[in-house]
Chains A and B, each alone.
Chain A
Amino acid sequence: MSEIKKPKNPEDDWKVWMVVNPATWLMPILFAVLATVLIIHWVLLSLGFGF
Chain B
Amino acid sequence: MSGLTEQQAKEFHEQFKTTFTAFVALAGLAHLLVAAAQPWI
A50 to chain B: closest residue by CB? B40
How many B residues touch A, CB cutoff 8 Å? Answer: 15
Which chain B residues numbered 13 to 39 have a C-beta less than 8 Å away from chain A? 13, 16, 34, 38
Cβ A21 vs Cβ B2 within 8 A: yes
Contact-size category for A? 10 to 19
Given contacts A17-B2, A17-B4, contact A22 B41 (CB under 8 A): no
- On B, residues with C-beta under 8 Å from A are 1-4, 6, 8-10, 12-13, 16, 34, 38, 40-41
A-B contact pairs, 5 of them (CB 8 A): A14-B12, A17-B4, A17-B9, A18-B1, A44-B40
